[in-house]
Amino acid sequence: MCITANVEPFLVKDCALVTIATGKKAQNLKEMREHLLNIHLGSIYHHFWGGLLRPRFDDPEYNNDFAEWVHHALQDDILAERLSVIDPDPFVNLESLRQELLEVIEQRLDSIETVTWAKPDMQFHFVRSQMVVFDTHDKLEEPEELVQAVPKMSVGSIFYHFIDARRRSPEMMDDFRTWLRACGNDDLCSQVAEVDPYFGSLVELRGQLADLFAKHFFRGVTV
Amino acid sequence: MTSIQDYVAVTGENVIDRLRQLARPLRGMKVVHVNSTYVGGGVAEILSKLVPLQKDLGLDVRWEVIRGEEAFFQVTKSFHNALQGIPVPLWDGVFKVYEETGAQNSEELRSILEEADIVIIHDPQPLPLLRSCPNRKGKWIWRCHIDLSHPYRPVWQYLRNYVMEYDASIFSLADFAQPLPHIQYLMPPSIDPLSDKNMDLTPEEVLAAKLQFGLDPDRLIMLQVSRFDRFKDPVGVIKSYRLVKAFAPSLQLVLAGGEATDDPEGAAVLAEVRKEAGTDKDIHVLLLPPDAHVTINALQRGADLVMQKSLKEGFGLTVTEALWKGKPVIGGDAGGIRLQIVNHHTGFLVKTPEGAALRARYLLRHPDKALEMGRIAKELVRQNFLLTRNLQEYLSILVALVYGDQERIELQLKSAP
């Protein structure tokens, strides 16, 4: 327990994703729009955030699967850029994110004369995922323990606590901030809020968080 | 027999620890895998590794194999080809042979299958078993290892009637998924890092393989390992080799593949390859027996350039194998190769022999870059395409099936053992 504030300990969890084919696929922008109208919201989540759990070796050219497909399969870089700039974080829920996607795509459909077709083997496959969450049996009693714990966390734990938490929390906040705030550590909480989850891999995010916690708690201390 | 603990050296303790945690709620669960052979082929190879590891994690796992006469396997071979898009003749009685063999096998297996919590049926051969188990209590999954992206419709329409009755399917890629009334999971295949084909070898073993086939160990080697199949474009590889050889005269080419006894086109393609090779003594066309795993391992480790210039490809485990050995791969921009070759990072995706040649020259000219790409390639496989990852996905799917179609499944917290 966070003794100073009488707060429950931070239970470190891990997760594994199960990928599921929806059976829906698009070969042009109109088909993409049609499917987006009704596609399972989990698919929109997957195509925005699932990339974090796939291999990445540098900064991705585009930040979500929709933009990536529009660039590679349709070669429509104007739309790819507009889709890429959609940041899923501020949207209150996935339905409003769906509406934003549709808005951008419909605007583009209004402005083009012909619809480009992707090659048959370059179709967009709508995929969604199920998350299996399990306990690691690690629990942190005090915020200082984050310094040791975060570097050892699996990327699944980082995904669950830093990315997926935003969907679980009413304030759309990651688990680290929720806990730190409860522990009365508002200063550190603000610093965590500045870590942008939308760029870089989970390994990089883990590194950023670990550095941030280390600097905060060891400030002025020679290690 | 390998145990889950043996993989710690390859994947690290954390990965194995996660597997144990994930398996905890499945302990004691009766799982039965059913396929059509204990030996030979990729499915048997994967099951021979997966089943002991699942047992080691506490699941009550059995592996059953159906039996059949030659006529049955002729039918299922033609089904296999048809599902991969080849039109096959459907003679009178073809479905009867299939159904009767299914019924015969169900007599032997019924009690085991009906008692199981999970039954995983691999590929089309044992599909009819489900209908013969009316008192089944568990969930039944069809694991399709085949490229089902463009099936020959008459055969797929027939088999689909069986598949539709299952609780779930598993496909290797999203491209292979089909309109079906149940949940379709996606799970790419994997390689076993401890198998003969992928285990570490000594430099002496690699050298011995080169000498065995008359290769000059002091000269450059370009390699493609694949069946002699037009979709693998071996003739295109020879063209690439010739374009590279103009700049690297010491280059040797090895095209290594299995004997094509079950592939009616194999002999014809092999003849085309030999004709294209002509009298060039630096082109080595190797016909290897099906168990030449260590030889293939050594050739992959000894190669300076690895190609997989497929025009179509289901997944391309030969790419995975080469990447695991720290080799960047020059591969055709097709199918599952795209999942593995991250362009300019783990290799190069190409569309033509000319493109392949250009990338090959680049890798020869930049050995440091090739080394770095190889390091990333190995890491890519470690994170995504090893047997342990496959095992994690199997366990996750079993958990998902047991807990239902909710987006987030929170396993019950239990105290650590």
CA distance B287 to B277: 15
Judge contact between B189 and B390, C-beta under 8 A: yes
Nearest to B384 among A18, A55, A125 (CB): A55
Q: Is B410–A17 a contact, with Cβ atoms under 8 angstroms apart?
A: no
Q: Which residues of A90-115 are buried (b: 16+ CB within 10 A; e: fewer)?
A: ebeebeebbeebeebbeebeeeeeee
d(CA B392, CA B57): 11
In this prediction, residue B417 has a pLDDT band, given cuts at 50, 70 and 90, of very low
Pair of tokens at residue A127 = 């995929």
Enumerate the residues of chain B whose CB falls inside 8 A of the CB of residue A57.
342, 345-346, 376
Distance of CA B158 to CAs A23, B79, B162, B166, Å?
20, 10, 8, 15
Chain A neighbors of B347, CB-CB under 8 A: none
Tell me the pairing of strands B30-35 and A124-140: unpaired
- What burial class does residue B44 get, using C-beta atoms within 10 Å of its C-beta: 0-12 exposed, 13-18 middle, 19+ buried? middle
Of B349 and A170, the structure prediction assigns the larger pLDDT to B349
Lookup: tokens for B362? 């680049």
Task: Work out the mean pLDDT of chain A and round it to a whole number.
Answer: 89
Nearest CA in chain A to B170: A20
Q: Provide mean pLDDT across the span B212-230.
A: 95
CA distance B383 to B398: 21
Instruction: Mark out chain B residues that contact chain A at CB-CB < 8 A.
Output: 14, 18, 21-22, 24, 171, 174-175, 177-180, 183-187, 334-335, 342, 345-346, 376, 380, 383-384, 392-393, 395-397, 399-400, 405-411, 413-416
pLDDT in the model for residue B42: 74
Q: Which pLDDT score, from 0 to 100, does residue B416 have?
A: 39
Q: Rounded to whole angstroms, how far apart are CA atoms B216 and A29? A: 54
Closest Cα of chain B to A213: distance in Å?
22
Note the pLDDT of residue A4.
65
For Cα atoms B112, B116, B119, give the angle at the middle one, nearest 5 degrees: 100
pLDDT tops 90 at residue A111: yes
* Residue contact A18–B376, C-beta within 8 A: no
Q: DSSP labels for A76-131?
A: -HHHHHHHHT--STT-SSHHHHHHHHHHHHHHHHHH-SSPPBPPGGGPEEEEEEEE
Mean per-residue pLDDT, B237-241:
98
| Eight-class DSSP state of B375 | H
The string of pLDDT tens digits covering residues B249-276 is: 999 999 999 764 445 577 888 999 999 9
Q: Identify which of A14, A57, A130 has the shortest CB distance to residue B407.
A: A130
CA dist A132 and B400 (Å) reads 7
- The set of residues, in sequence order, having a beta carbon less than 8 Å from that of A211 and lying 6+ positions away, is none
Compute the nearest-CA separation of A165 from chain B (Å).
12
Which of A93, A126, A130, A158 is the best residue to mutate to test the B interface, defined by the most B CB atoms within 10 Å of its own CB?
A130
Tell me the pLDDT tens digit for each residue of B281-323. Answer: 999 999 998 889 999 999 999 999 999 999 888 788 999 999 9
Indicate if the pLDDT at residue A107 is higher than 50.
yes
Q: Write down the pLDDT at residue B15.
A: 86
pTM, entire model: 0.86
> Is residue B259 a contact partner of residue B227, using CB atoms and an 8 Å limit?
no
| Band of pLDDT at residue B63, cut at 50, 70 and 90 | very high
Determine contact, residues B260/B227, Cβ cutoff 8 Å: yes
pLDDT tens-digit series, residues A171-207: 889 999 999 999 999 999 999 999 988 877 888 899 9
Mean pLDDT of the A160-169 span = 91
Q: Are strands B30-35 and B118-122 parallel, antiparallel or unpaired?
A: parallel
DSSP state of B50: H
Main-chain phi, psi angles of B188, to 5 degrees: -65, 155
Chain A CA closest to residue B16: A154
Mean pLDDT throughout A109-129? 92
Shortest Cα distance from B251 to chain A (angstroms)?
A: 31
